[in-house]
Amino acid sequence: MDFNKEQYFKRQTTLPEIGKKGQELLQNTKVLIIGCGGLGNPVAIYLATSGVGELHLVDFDTVSISNLHRQVFYKIEDVGKAKTKVLANEIKKRTPFTKVTFTNKAIDKDSILDLILKYDIVVDGTDSLPIKYLINDACV
């Protein structure tokens, strides 16, 4: 199916609070999502389909059967596959306007600063308190 950005984002750009200028701002935004589970999974899809220009997904985990009831963009056939890769592919199926990259490994104190400095926004979708503190410390 052929369509363009104007058609795809028409419902948003007609809102006076967003408009074409707001949509351009979204398109020029780079977002880092750390954790692709229960929170990061839908956040990534929603940000991409809203028009965010670039997403980078970070997670070390694979999809497990116990994820499926709450991590809604994974399917039974995804079990055993890297969450980042599966989620990146799901995003690409939904919108051609977002560049999606991923890192399939855990973050640590040695790698986080180099990673977050490349992005405008960092989303913490993790479920580990020590990692949450690490992300917070790196962002402030």
Number of structural domains (the chain) is: 1
SS3 content of the chain, % helix, strand, coil (to 5): 45, 15, 40
Among 98, 11, 6, CA closest to 46: 98
Q: Measured in whole angstroms, how far is the alpha carbon of residue 109 from the centre of its chain?
A: 21
How many whole angstroms separate alpha carbon 97 and alpha carbon 107?
27
Among 48, 106, 37, 97, CA closest to 73: 37
Q: What's the predicted TM-score (pTM) here?
A: 0.94
User: Quick one: pLDDT at residue 2?
Assistant: 84
Which pLDDT tens digits describe the chain residue by residue (140 residues)?
Answer: 788 899 999 999 999 999 999 999 999 999 999 999 999 999 999 999 999 999 999 999 999 999 999 999 999 999 999 999 999 999 999 999 999 999 999 999 999 999 999 999 999 999 999 999 999 999 99
Give me the CATH number covering residue 104: 3.40.50.720
Range of the domain at 101: 5-139
